[in-house]
Structure 1
């Protein structure tokens, strides 16, 4: 159903571990693109997912990060730990520079694993679809929406099909409007002949290794609006003292005060997730946990919000 796309930074993997039970219960399947040389964080995240009885997809040839030149370490890791585990799928990322022969070689290399193809700019869909069909290879197809057109997707009509949309427009924190539209895919994915949908959480698709000091602090929390056909939107709670990069704790306190005011307002449509409970505790304690921790809570809230939506929609 829902396939959130994670990049394997520290706090994203922590959010994944802490959300493992929620995702397993909701039948959510995270896609993980490892971007750090060490796979220890990935190993702990996958262990949490396995312990919860969940599933995951691990990209074996990342586009970004420390493994972008060679994903052999990731392949060896999957061979050693998850070769006979159908719940952990080998994800093959097909980008603009991926040749047909490379795609075939990666598929053959992971013939003993469950396989997922992530289509993100690949230019030989007809030939690849024929190869899969002629060799009776079953895969899950994940399409990054802005890099795999509808015409492209027609070549891969068989098997499980997932559409991933980047609903989070990345800007400088100080430039965000109070509210932005996020996505309606959680409602419309079946209308698009898809079996599942995904997004890049409240992080966005654009990858960066890390920025400089924060002039503004923003807390991004998604919500589903029943007054707008259950479409998803995102609040951006921003600090006010944004002229210098000093005193991030005070900037966080300013943003957090706006979040709490919205939560306590009668018109709030935010789900009281475990992440929201943690934001309330941070507010009561006057504690600044660091920017990465804030991102982790935002991701957890997003996952729990969608889990709550599907739980109620299926009731």
Structure 2
């Protein structure tokens, strides 16, 4: 099983929706979403997973974004009409979210934290939960608490080697995307190693593996216009059965002007590379190529969306083979 860990940003959620609607999301891929806002896109994503009867986990103690604030927002009485309508939508989404949490296709996950021990224990009285550890120190802390009464479905751990210590189904979870300071810093001529966790989890008899896809662990709420556009394409090395990644970067990177040209420059390099990798075909890749061939720029967010879609479909194809 593969458990891609995504923050609930718009494009990440739309990537999941696009794969589900087109029947391109393998049943062996179960996303884990750490929601950053109580958006209609987030609610629609949950609804779609329920309709398609496909599993998804939602982190209940999000460490980033404004999700908790959104859940606790109510009308005070001094709002103008625009602000009042915004809050009404949040309340509608909150009610739907509460209903969806009881659905069998919506799993509950928690980031391990001392502060949330009581909440985790209480939640597990009625629900099996997934518990996520970011580092080894948290695991040692968890073992010292003696939480044998917590109803755990699986544990996400940062390294292998815990199979003899933790009596649970284990998922290896780590950041595999080497994020560069700037898009122009990606080495596009390098055929870069991405991950072989698809082999490691089997070798250690784990339930599955997890990573942050092509987004990376770091979280940044602010949006900005980059000097360069980089397209990140993960692919399977047939000889080693491990995943590698290529970065395709624009050339006119001296200012933020003309992102459409930058997209075109990066896509030309991607298409040249694909001439020698004609066996690689996914919905996300097809969407990028379609925009390029029709001389349209989809926007930076959509480039990210289609790259995530490509990655998830590539992994799904391997797991289903």
The residue that corresponds to 2:128 in the other structure is 114
Tell me by how many angstroms 1:107 deviates: 3.1
Shift of 1:40: 1.9
2:187: which partner in 1? 177
Give the TM-score taking structure 1 as reference length.
0.85
Matched-pair contact (CA < 8 Å) for 1:93–1:118: yes
CA contact (8 A) 1:167 1:200 kept: yes
- Aligned match of 2:175: 166
1:78 CA drift (Å): 5.0
| Structure 2 gap segments, 5+ residues each | 74-92
Q: Distance in 2 between matches of 1:191 and 1:75?
A: 42
Who is 2:34 aligned against?
33
Q: Secondary structure at the match of 1:240?
A: coil
The alignment's C-alpha RMSD in Å is: 2.4
Alignment of 1:6-45 (within 5 A): 6-20=6-20, 21-23=23-25, 25-36=26-37, 38-45=38-45
Asked if structure 2 preserves the Cα contact closer than 8 Å seen for 1:224 and 1:269, the reply is no
1:11–1:187 distance in 2 versus 1, CA, 3 Å: same
2:299 to 290, 295, 298: 290
SS at match of 2:67: coil
Q: How far 1:55 sits from its partner (Å)?
A: 0.3
Mean Cα displacement is larger for which, 212-221 or 293-302?
212-221
How far does residue 70 in structure 1 lie from its aligned partner after superposition?
8.9
The one of 101, 108, 111 aligned to 1:93: 111
Residue 253 of structure 1 corresponds to 264
Structure 1 unaligned blocks of 5 or more: none
Go from structure 1 to structure 2 and tell me whether the alpha carbon gap of 1:127 and 1:86 turns closer, same or farther (over 3 Å shift): farther
Query: Which of 232, 245, 257 pairs up with 1:234?
Result: 245
Q: Secondary structure at the match of 2:156?
A: strand
Is residue 225–residue 269 contact of structure 1 (8 Å, CA) maintained in 2? no
Matches within 5 A, 1:176-215: 176-178=186-188, 179-215=191-227
Shift of 1:109: 3.3
Map 1:46-61; keep pairs closer than 5 Å: 46-61=46-61
Q: Tell whether 2:134 aligns with 1:125.
A: no
Equivalent residue of 1:208, what SS? Answer: coil
Is the Cα contact below 8 Å between 1:223 and 1:270 reproduced in 2?
Answer: no
> How big is each residue's C-alpha offset from its partner over 1:121-170, in whole Å with a ceiling of 9 and x where there is no partner?
42512134x22x2x262322112x2xxx5566754232x21112211111
TM-score by length of 2: 0.84
- 1:75 CA drift (Å): 9.0
In structure 2, C-alpha distance between the alignment counterparts of 1:79 and 1:165, rounded to whole Å: 30
Contact 2:163 2:170 in 1 (8 A): no
| Partners of 2:160 and 2:204 within 8 A in 1 | no
Q: Report the counterpart of residue 100 of structure 2 in structure 1.
A: 81
Are residue 302 (structure 1) and residue 304 (structure 2) matched?
A: no
Give a deviation string over 1:158-213, Cα, whole Å, max 9, x none: 2x211122111111110111232110011221223311001111111111113432
Determine the C-alpha separation between the residues in 2 that align with 1:33 and 1:186: 22
- C-alpha deviations, 1:234-260, integer Å up to 9, x for none? 110100111111111110110011111
Give how far 1:71 is off: 6.9
Residue 72 of structure 1 and its aligned partner are, at CA, apart by: 6.7
Residue number in structure 1 paired with 2:255: 244
| Change beyond 3 A, Cα 1:152–1:231 | closer
